[in-house]
Amino acid sequence: MPEPSHRPQSSKPHPSPLADRRTPVYALVGNPNCGKSTLFNALTGLKQKVGNYPGVTVEKKTGTTYSQHGRPITVIDLPGTYSLAARSPDEAVVRDVLLGRRADTAQPDLIICIVDSTNLERNLYLVHQVLDLGRPAILVLNMMDLAVAAGLNLRVARLEHELGIPVIPCEAANGKGILELRLAMSRTDLPLSRHRWDIPAPIASAVSELQASLVENDGKQPLIARAEALLLLTDQNVVRVAGSTPLSDPTAAILAGWKQRWEGQGIDWSGTLVNSRYEAIARLCAEVVLRAARTGPSASDRIDQVVVHPLWGWLVLGGIMTALFLSIFTLAEYPMNWIDGAVAALGTWVKGAMPPGDLRDLFTDGAIAGVGGIVVFLPQILILFFFLGLLESTGYMARAAFIMDRLMSRVGLNGKSFIPLLGSYACAIPGIMATRTIEDPKDRLVTILVAPLMSCSARLPVYLLMIAALLPGDRVSVGAKVGLMLLMYALGTFGAFGFAWLFKKYLLKGEPPLMIMELPPYRWPRLKDVLFHMLERAGLFLRRAGTIILGISILLWFLTTYPKSAGDVTPQAQIAHSFAGMAGRTLEPVIRPLGFDWRIGIGLISSFAAREVFVSSMGVIFGVEDSGGKDTTPLRAALRQAQWPGGAPLFTPLVCLTLMIYYVFAMQCMSTIAVVKRETNSWRWPLFQTGYMTGTAWLICLVVYQGGHALGF
């Protein structure tokens, strides 16, 4: 490790951020799929913080690295983007941070641009915009090994000369070039780019007028003002996100005036600027990129001949999904049993260590049991995050979106919603957190809203119990049971697509989503990055949802425990006497038309924490000792004997079916509510979601039960 140095810095013509006493801030920008996260991990290691930019649901990742002399440097990993002309909240944040428009984030002192060397031309478009910002910058040519393998020969010294900034060849995945980058980041005399390009004549006078106004009315530095003027003239629809400062009125008026003039004259102003940037880049690339003759299709092309083939493509997709679900349901079982055991052991230990009383029960039956009920799903969530990371880093995710786009467009979404929805079959939480790859905010919201309708694994215990109670004995064929199970999955799936269509058509109307997406070359995943990503996601879930889950667990414990019955009564009598019991009885008129009584009502209330809690609640309510195992035979027998006060059986086949359908649609998962709250940044959407899902559940159950009843079932 380099020794920390306290030598005074000599004064230089360009005052460097490193000469300041505060910790300098460097921003890392680049296109998606250029290895930006790998470079960020290589620079900062485990010293990372993940949060959100205030007011928007864009992830803010910062880390600390050290200069050659051991001085700390803050690195902000900005979301991947192709352009500073923003079209999504993610891209708007990149633009606003770089332009110093965000009050919550210091304007970076230095910009590290990372590009994929195998695809220099398109990657340089963003760099070209960034160099206009008038900040010292470093260009990192990542994946140099792959560029060489593809037959490209890049003249690094020439590029450095043309741009006038340090250019560092790098293989972030192998750690090559990181030292050189760190040395460059430690320099105190980093120059501004001397790259100049010609702004076309009709635009140039608008740029200088806007620049002058931005300096005068918006208090911008001249260089930043020029960059901002250029950006304002590229954007057709300026995406504004919370936390960024708006333009001053005079500047906005000048901008509107020019746009109106050009549109009147039929001048394609935004296109003209893009054209001249690409012309400048093409001239640069002609100097820098010496291309050897390509020989035949690349490895990626050959893989894609199978992976997106009209027939084999579906088989590959089906195979990958089967592997995903098999591993979720088989591999996860072992750690889930360990966690189950550990939570039970912890509860027992606390029970032994603390004096009996309400405080002890609050810990064991409230906090430990409640949070344990969520943590038990962590193995599934981790495996799902692992697979999502793997699919993303290999490049398969884009292919899945490509082949599914046509089907998803039927309900107004695009192919990128497919993987998050599919993941929700295991658990809606990773599914919802994976919607961050969907750029359009409305599409993302619709995907979040319908994702919990996909039958997740927590519904399985409820389905299994109800099928067992519905189709008693061994006379019923396995086929009927499997058929019923599939019916529940189909109901949820059709429900999700139906609601997506409905929401896109009426509630969140918008432009039809674009499907302009890069299909990146296939790459070997880096296990380290995938594992890192998995742990980071899971940590985020626990941190973000943890407090809400703990709170609701304790609330539900309180509702089922108080008020206390006089004397020593059975748990069965106690829960009947509790607030939850009262609520169940109060709820009975509402759920009576669905064929449910107040005892089922208690089950519905208590399983609001998580759906599988319904099974254990039924155990308590019908006085069946929890054997701790998976055997529900005594419970099934108890359910079959349960009666209405008049003596009619409670759990008729129709009621069992109705109850299953209720669990298909109703939002009975506090973790999902907590995650949706974090992902949408408000209580509005999780509450709406809970309302529409549970409302739909009630309506459909009403139709099914009353219809079935009328038909004599």
Partner 1 sequence: MASTIKLSELAVGSKAVVQGMPAQGPASLRLREMGVLPGVAITLVRTAPFGDPLEIRVRGYNLTLRKSEAEHVMVEISKTET
Residues that bind partner 1 (CB under 8 A): 82-83, 85, 87, 118-119, 121-122, 125, 234, 236-237, 266, 268, 270-271, 274-275, 278, 300-301, 304, 308-310, 313-314, 398, 402-403, 405-407, 409, 415, 511-512, 514-521
Nearer to partner 1 among residue 402 and residue 622 (C-beta): 402
Nearer to partner 1 among residue 3 and residue 511 (C-beta): 511
- Provide the minimum distance between the beta carbon of 59 and partner 1 in the complex, in angstroms, as a whole number: 22
Half-sphere exposure of 311 (CA within 13 A, CB side): 0
Whether 258 contacts 208, CB under 8 Å: no
Which residues touch 528 (CB under 8 Å, ≥6 apart)? 41
Return the H-helix or E-strand segment holding 521: none
Nearer to partner 1 among residue 263 and residue 626 (C-beta): 263
Instruction: Decide: helix, strand or coil at residue 74.
Output: strand
Nearer to partner 1 among residue 305 and residue 565 (C-beta): 305
Cα separation of 464 and 618, whole Å? 14
Which residues touch 384 (CB under 8 Å, ≥6 apart)? 324, 328, 423, 426, 427, 430, 431
- For residue 72, give the DSSP letter: E
Cα separation of 503 and 443, whole Å? 10
Whether 640 contacts 469, CB under 8 Å: yes
β-bridge mates for residue 112, sequence order: 28, 138
For residue 476, give both structure tokens.
């019923």
Which residues touch 575 (CB under 8 Å, ≥6 apart)? 560, 581, 602, 620, 621
Nearer to partner 1 among residue 109 and residue 304 (C-beta): 304
- Provide the minimum distance between the beta carbon of 189 and partner 1 in the complex, in angstroms, as a whole number: 33
Whether 71 contacts 78, CB under 8 Å: no
Cα separations (Å) of 271 from 194, 226, 267, 282?
A: 24, 18, 9, 16
User: How long is the chain?
Assistant: 713
- Provide the minimum distance between the beta carbon of 580 and partner 1 in the complex, in angstroms, as a whole number: 50
- Provide the minimum distance between the beta carbon of 171 and partner 1 in the complex, in angstroms, as a whole number: 19
Cα separation of 503 and 219, whole Å? 42
Nearer to partner 1 among residue 105 and residue 119 (C-beta): 119
Question: 475 burial class (0-12, 13-18, 19+ CB within 10 angstroms)?
Answer: exposed
Cα separations (Å) of 580 from 552, 584, 603, 605, 642?
A: 14, 6, 9, 7, 19
- Provide the minimum distance between the beta carbon of 403 and partner 1 in the complex, in angstroms, as a whole number: 5
Q: Which of 185, 112, 184, 174 is nearest to 148 (CA)?
A: 174
- Provide the minimum distance between the beta carbon of 83 and partner 1 in the complex, in angstroms, as a whole number: 4
- Provide the minimum distance between the beta carbon of 447 and partner 1 in the complex, in angstroms, as a whole number: 18
- Provide the minimum distance between the beta carbon of 296 and partner 1 in the complex, in angstroms, as a whole number: 12
Nearer to partner 1 among residue 80 and residue 619 (C-beta): 80
- Provide the minimum distance between the beta carbon of 516 and partner 1 in the complex, in angstroms, as a whole number: 5
Reduce the secondary structure of 290-352 to three states and give it as a string. Answer: EECCCCCCCHHHHHHHHHCCCCHHHHHHHHHHHHHHHHHHHHCHHHHHHHHHHHHHHHHHHHH
Whether 138 contacts 75, CB under 8 Å: no
Nearer to partner 1 among residue 515 and residue 687 (C-beta): 515
For residue 407, give both structure tokens.
């089907």
Nearer to partner 1 among residue 515 and residue 642 (C-beta): 515
- Provide the minimum distance between the beta carbon of 311 and partner 1 in the complex, in angstroms, as a whole number: 8
Nearer to partner 1 among residue 16 and residue 83 (C-beta): 83
Nearer to partner 1 among residue 316 and residue 583 (C-beta): 316
Nearer to partner 1 among residue 316 and residue 635 (C-beta): 316
Q: Which of 114, 135, 124 is nearest to 25 (CA)?
A: 135
Q: Residue 563, preceding bond cis, omega within 30 degrees? A: yes
Cα separation of 569 and 414, whole Å? 57
- Provide the minimum distance between the beta carbon of 239 and partner 1 in the complex, in angstroms, as a whole number: 10
Return the H-helix or E-strand segment holding 529: helix 527-561
CB atoms within 10 A of CB 315: 12
Whether 85 contacts 235, CB under 8 Å: yes
Nearer to partner 1 among residue 332 and residue 403 (C-beta): 403
Whether 610 contacts 556, CB under 8 Å: no
Nearer to partner 1 among residue 85 and residue 465 (C-beta): 85
Nearer to partner 1 among residue 201 and residue 566 (C-beta): 201
